Chains A and B, each alone.
Chain A
Amino acid sequence: MSDTRALAADLEPEIETLSARPTAILSVRQLMWRKFRRNRLAVFGLVVLTVMYILAVLAGFVAPYGVRETHQQFPRTSPTAIHFVDADGQFHFQPFVYAITRAMDPKTFTMTSIEDTSVRYPIELFIRGAPYNILGIWKSDVHLFGVEAPGKLFLLGTDTTGRDLFSRILYGSQVSLTVGLFGVILALVIGASVGIISGYYGGWFDEIVQRIIEMTLAFPQIPLWLALATLVPPTWSSVQVYFAISIVLSILSWGALARQVRAMVLSLRTSDFVRAASYANASPPRIMFRHLLPSTMSHILVIATLTIPSMILGETALSFLGLGIKAPMTSWGVLLNEAQSVQVILQLPWLLSPAAFVVLTIISFNFVGDGLRDAADPFSR
C-alpha cells in the first residue's frame, strides 16, 4: 500500500505544475489563426481583400457617380486634382476641387481640362447624387463623398464617353471579384467530390478518373477558354454571360483540385477515425462527406485561395479581348478593354488604373493563400 501512496505523492506535484502552466491548450483552428496572424503579408492581403469586397458590396454608396452616369461635357477628362491650398495661398481643412472647363489645345488640337480657380467645390460627405440600390435591400441616393452639382469629382478621370472611371471600377469589382469566386466554388464542388469518391473507392473507377484528370491537365487552358468564350451567343443577357464565363473558368480547374483531394483521402482512408466510423456502420457517403471532407477542408481552402487569382486573370483577359463580360455589365477587364492601343494610353494613361486593382487583388490572394498554406500545417515549425 505504501506503493500507491508514494505514487500519489509523486503525481501530486505534477498535477500542480500542469495546472499552473500559463500555456492554455489551443484548438487546431486557433493554432492556425495564430500562425496565419504572424505572417504579416498574409494579414495585409486579408485586410486588402476584406476592404475590396466591402467596397464591391457598397459600390453604389462609395462611388460618387452611377455606373451608367455619363458626363457629356467631360469625356476623356484627366483625374480631378484635389486641393487643400487655394489660389490665394489660403489653406482649407476641407479638401476642395475647382470647376473644370474643357478647351481645345491650340497646338495638339485635343481637348484638355483647365481648372477655373474662381469656383471652388469643397468635397463633402454624404452628398446626394444618382440613386442606387445595394443588394436589393437598401435604396438611397446618398453617396459617401462627392461635390455639389455643377462641380465634378473624377478621382481617376473619365473614359471616352465621359463616365467616371473610379465609380466604374467599384461597380466592375462586383463582377471581377465574384466571377472567379463563383468559378472556384464550381471547381471545388466538382473537384472535391470527384477527388473524395475516387480516393475512397480506388480501383478501376479511380484509375479512369485519374486518366481523365491527366487529360484535362494537358489541355492548354487559355486557348480552350478562348474557344469556349467564343461559343457564348451574342444574344445572351449579361447575367447569362456572367455565369457562362464562370463555368468556362472552372472547366479545367477541377482536375488539379480533384487530384490533391484524392491524394489526401488516400492517406486518410486507413486512419483510425475512418476505420472507427466504418466499424460504427457509417455509410460510405457519410464517411466521405462527414469525416473525410472536413479533414481535407483546410487544404481545399488553400488550393481554392491560390486558384482564384488565375480565374480573375482569366476573366480580365477574356473581357479585355472582348470575349468575356459584355456591356452593359462592367468588369475590370471590360474597363481595360478601352486601353488597348498605344495612342489611347498615351493620351489617357489613367485608363490603365483598373490594372492596379487587378494586380493588388491577385497579389493579396497570393499572400493570403501562402499564409493559409503555412497555417494549414499548424504543427510545423
Chain B
Amino acid sequence: MTEPNVSPLLSVDDLVVEFHTESGVVRAVNGVSFAIEKGATLALIGESGCGKSVTSLALLNLVRAPGKIASGTITYTGDDGEARLITDWKSSSEQMRQFRGAEVAMIFQEPMTSFDPLFTIGEQIVEMVLAHRPKTSRSGARDIAIDMLGLVRLPQPEVLIDRYPHQLSGGMRQRVMIAMALCCGPNLLIADEPTTALDVTTESQILDLLRQLQSELGMAMLFITHDLAVASEVADEIAVMYLGYVVERGAAADVLSSPSHPYTRALLDSLPNIDTDPASRLNAIKGMVPTPDEMPRGCPFHTRCREAMPGLCDQRLPELYACGQGHQARCFLVDPQLEVLRG
C-alpha cells in the first residue's frame, strides 16, 4: 500500500486519448487511471484493440496523428523527488526527448521490425547513450553497449555488437532490445507484449531475464500483455482493460484469485487448465470485440457479458467500485447500491 507521503513513480489520472478519423472521433483510451510504484510491476491486460498499447505510447507522449492525448494527466516523480507533469510537455520538446529512454524506456513486441535494419546493434545502442549523455566518448559508449549486452546474458558481446539485426535470432534480438532500453538506467521499463512474437521456450527465458534485471536494477515495469498466464508470472498489480476502459484493477493475487468483473472472469475461464477435461471445449468469450468506432452504449462489455442486466448495463456506464483492499471493478454487480438500482 502506498505510504501517504511518498508519491508513486508514475501516476496516470483520467487519461483520454482520441483519434480524429474521417468517420469521427474515436476514443481509444477512456479515462484510464493507474499508478506504478518504484520497483513494482504493473501488468496492463486486454485483448488486441483494447487501448493498452496506445496507453503505453501516451506515457512517452508518442501517440501519433491523427491520435492525441485529449485530457488527463501523467505525473512522473524521478530520483530527485520532484513531480513532473509530463502531459504539459510538447511531444517534440527537448524535455520530452530527454525523458524518453533516460527515465522511461520501452521495448516492443516485434524485435525484428523494431530495429533499424541498416545499422549494427552496437551503433543503435551507442547512439542512444550519446543522445542522453553527450559528454560520453564514442568508445566509452561502446563499452557501455558491450556491458549491457553482457548484462542481458548474450554470449560474446564484443563480437555481437558489430552484428546487424537480421543476423540475430528473435530471442537474441529481444535481449538486445532490452539491453538497449536499459543502457541509460531508466526507472521504468515499458514492455509492450515483449514475448508475444517469440516461441514458448524463449518466452520464459526472456521473462526470467526481465525479472532478474528488475531485481538487480530496482526499476519499475509496466508490462503490457494479452496473456494472463504471463501477467501472473511477472506482475505485482494488474489492470484489465476493455475498449479503452480499465474494467478491473488490484493486486495481482487478488485479481487472479477473486476476479470481480465478468470480463476478467471470462478471460480466466478461457485459459486452458491442467485440471480441465481434455475433451471439453475451452470457454471462449462470445462475440468479437466491437471496433472502437462502434462503442456500445452503457457498459462497454455488456454486448458480450453473460451477466449483463438489460435496462441497466446497456444504459449507464458503471464506475470503478471497490470490491476489496485496493481492488476495484467497473461493474454494477459489485456496486454496493446494486439492489437499489435493480429496484
Q: Do A and B touch directly, given a CB cutoff of 8 Å in the complex?
A: yes
Cβ contacts under 8 Å, B286 to chain A:
10, 13-14
Contact partner of B303 (CB less than 8 A), chosen from A7, A17, A38, is A17
In the complex the two chains form, what is the Cα distance from A81 to B14 in whole Å? 67
Cβ contacts under 8 Å, A38 to chain B:
22
Contact digits for A8-38, partner B, Cβ 8 Å, 1 yes 0 no: 0010011001000000000000000000001
* Chain A, 297-335, CB within 8 A of any chain B CB: none
Cβ contacts under 8 Å, A10 to chain B:
286
Distance of B285 from chain A, by nearest CB (Å): 11
In the complex the two chains form, what is the Cα distance from A17 to B22 in whole Å? 25
Distance of A22 from chain B, by nearest CB (Å): 9
Contact digits for B117-149, partner A, Cβ 8 Å, 1 yes 0 no: 000000000000000000000000000000000
In the complex the two chains form, what is the Cα distance from A17 to B303 in whole Å? 9
Instruction: Name B303's closest neighbour in chain A (CB-CB).
Output: A17
* Chain B, 176-235, CB within 8 A of any chain A CB: none
Distance of B111 from chain A, by nearest CB (Å): 24
Distance of B271 from chain A, by nearest CB (Å): 18
Distance of A39 from chain B, by nearest CB (Å): 12
Distance of A1 from chain B, by nearest CB (Å): 15
In the complex the two chains form, what is the Cα distance from A14 to B304 in whole Å? 9
* Chain A, 29-72, CB within 8 A of any chain B CB: 38
In the complex the two chains form, what is the Cα distance from A234 to B289 in whole Å? 72
B287 in the interface (beta carbon within 8 A): yes
* Chain B, 291-317, CB within 8 A of any chain A CB: 303
Chain B residue total in the interface (Cβ 8 A): 5
In the complex the two chains form, what is the Cα distance from A38 to B21 in whole Å? 13
Distance of B177 from chain A, by nearest CB (Å): 26
Instruction: Name B284's closest neighbour in chain A (CB-CB).
Output: A10
Cβ contacts under 8 Å, B281 to chain A:
7
In the complex the two chains form, what is the Cα distance from A334 to B22 in whole Å? 46
Cβ contacts under 8 Å, A17 to chain B:
287, 303
Cβ contacts under 8 Å, A14 to chain B:
286-287
Cβ contacts under 8 Å, B22 to chain A:
38
Contact digits for A326-354, partner B, Cβ 8 Å, 1 yes 0 no: 00000000000000000000000000000
Contact digits for B262-291, partner A, Cβ 8 Å, 1 yes 0 no: 000000000000000000010000110000
In the complex the two chains form, what is the Cα distance from A13 to B303 in whole Å? 10
In the complex the two chains form, what is the Cα distance from A14 to B285 in whole Å? 11
Distance of A36 from chain B, by nearest CB (Å): 15
Distance of B21 from chain A, by nearest CB (Å): 12
Distance of A79 from chain B, by nearest CB (Å): 43
Distance of A342 from chain B, by nearest CB (Å): 49
Cβ contacts under 8 Å, B303 to chain A:
17
In the complex the two chains form, what is the Cα distance from A7 to B280 in whole Å? 11
Cβ contacts under 8 Å, A7 to chain B:
281
Distance of A376 from chain B, by nearest CB (Å): 21
Cβ contacts under 8 Å, A13 to chain B:
286-287
In the complex the two chains form, what is the Cα distance from A38 to B22 in whole Å? 10
Distance of B309 from chain A, by nearest CB (Å): 16
Instruction: Name B283's closest neighbour in chain A (CB-CB).
Output: A10
Instruction: Name A21's closest neighbour in chain B (CB-CB).
Output: B294
In the complex the two chains form, what is the Cα distance from A7 to B287 in whole Å? 14
Distance of A42 from chain B, by nearest CB (Å): 16
In the complex the two chains form, what is the Cα distance from A254 to B287 in whole Å? 50
Cβ contacts under 8 Å, B287 to chain A:
13-14, 17
In the complex the two chains form, what is the Cα distance from A146 to B22 in whole Å? 46
In the complex the two chains form, what is the Cα distance from A13 to B304 in whole Å? 9
In the complex the two chains form, what is the Cα distance from A270 to B22 in whole Å? 39
Distance of B302 from chain A, by nearest CB (Å): 12
In the complex the two chains form, what is the Cα distance from A58 to B116 in whole Å? 56
Distance of A47 from chain B, by nearest CB (Å): 21
Distance of A19 from chain B, by nearest CB (Å): 13
Contact digits for A166-199, partner B, Cβ 8 Å, 1 yes 0 no: 0000000000000000000000000000000000
Distance of B193 from chain A, by nearest CB (Å): 22
Distance of A186 from chain B, by nearest CB (Å): 41
Instruction: Name A16's closest neighbour in chain B (CB-CB).
Output: B287
* Chain A, 268-305, CB within 8 A of any chain B CB: none
In the complex the two chains form, what is the Cα distance from A14 to B303 in whole Å? 10
In the complex the two chains form, what is the Cα distance from A177 to B303 in whole Å? 56
Distance of A118 from chain B, by nearest CB (Å): 58
Instruction: Name A22's closest neighbour in chain B (CB-CB).
Output: B294
* Chain B, 49-79, CB within 8 A of any chain A CB: none
In the complex the two chains form, what is the Cα distance from A197 to B144 in whole Å? 57
Instruction: Name A23's closest neighbour in chain B (CB-CB).
Output: B294
* Chain A, 79-134, CB within 8 A of any chain B CB: none
In the complex the two chains form, what is the Cα distance from A14 to B306 in whole Å? 12
* Chain A, 145-168, CB within 8 A of any chain B CB: none
In the complex the two chains form, what is the Cα distance from A77 to B287 in whole Å? 74
In the complex the two chains form, what is the Cα distance from A22 to B303 in whole Å? 15
Distance of A5 from chain B, by nearest CB (Å): 13
Instruction: Name A6's closest neighbour in chain B (CB-CB).
Output: B281
Distance of A195 from chain B, by nearest CB (Å): 30
In the complex the two chains form, what is the Cα distance from A14 to B288 in whole Å? 9
Distance of A78 from chain B, by nearest CB (Å): 47
In the complex the two chains form, what is the Cα distance from A7 to B303 in whole Å? 18
Instruction: Name B291's closest neighbour in chain A (CB-CB).
Output: A23
Distance of B279 from chain A, by nearest CB (Å): 10
> 9 pairs across A/B with beta carbons < 8 Å?
A7-B281, A10-B286, A13-B286, A13-B287, A14-B286, A14-B287, A17-B287, A17-B303, A38-B22
The 6 tightest CB contacts between A and B, nearest first, are A17-B287, A14-B286, A14-B287, A10-B286, A13-B286, A17-B303
Residues on B lying within 8 angstroms of A by beta carbon are 22, 281, 286-287, 303
Residues on A lying within 8 angstroms of B by beta carbon are 7, 10, 13-14, 17, 38
| Given contact pairs A13-B286, A13-B287, A14-B287, a sample of 4 additional A-B residue pairs in the complex whose CB atoms are under 8 Å apart | A7-B281, A17-B287, A17-B303, A38-B22
